[in-house]
Structure 1
Amino acid sequence: MVEIGSVLEISYFDIALLVVLVYVVYRMFLKKADPLPPPPKRVPPLPKQDMTVEQLRKYNGTDDEHICIALLGEIFDVTRGKNFYGPDTAYAPLAGHDATRALANMDLKLVQEEYDDPSTLSEVDKDEAKNWADTFRVKYPVVGRLLAPGEEPKDYKGEEATM
């Protein structure tokens, strides 16, 4: 009796390649692809507005779905970065606060609950805070200004915060 393997010269390596080929063809043409996860919920943009420290606090990702951070007097909507600034994240203490002093010194314990005048920062800290602000301006829309006590807000006439 003649063995088929010896006539066709098929080895175990050829059989393994055939199995791989059949699997690849099955995956490419016959098996349905796994469905993609639904896209994340898109949060509508905030209207442009100047805020006091008290008004800013509600934008912490818990009390409101938006997350805002003030830096050198500008308020940024960092909602897109909720994996960094949202509840239960490393930078959550910055959400809804003026983060100027904390980011300038890279110390989250320096987040203030009251208005923190950036003019009291050292020149080195101001430069570091300016670098952070430049980075934020590229990544996040500016909502408005953080108001010092007694300062009046600007009327943006319903304009939305965009990049």
Structure 2
Amino acid sequence: MQSPERHDHAQSCYSTTHKRANALLQWFDTVINTTIMKDLNDINAKVKGKTLELRRERVRLIQEKVRELWGTDIELDSTLRMQDVDVEQMARGMLTDGQVVKLDGGDLESQRAGTPPLLSEDELAPMPSNNVIFGNMYDHYQNQLNNLAQQHREEMNQFMKEQ
């Protein structure tokens, strides 16, 4: 165990393991930043929009009920009348009910010191598919979601026709 050959062998084993772990870490970062974070940003944007729509609808229904009960109009929240409400500003950086996950803008590279240089796209493993990331049921749930969205559109069209 004390011979220089064994030390060199141990050094090469540790070096190889370090390089492979770094490549795996880089692959994780690539998958997270190119696939998962993009989907998360899209979902958060949709949830924020729907949350604002829902809040506006609640205000409208409350005003309608007040008008029905007391025969007068009240102004509950004038900010909801504007079309370009900044939900982020309303949240003031806090996690809102409309956000699924709070996103940190932290720099991962500043937290990692002494790592080998990044690998090229060719050297990294291929990007996983949505089925690999989210499981075998991804397509099934995506189809169900599309069917529900289509059903909602049809019901809304029918509702608008009846109105």
Shorter-normalised TM range: under 0.3
Which structure shows the bigger proportion of residues in helix conformation? 2
Which structure shows the bigger proportion of residues in strand conformation? 1
TM-score for the superposition, normalised by structure 2: 0.23
TM-score for the superposition, normalised by structure 1: 0.23
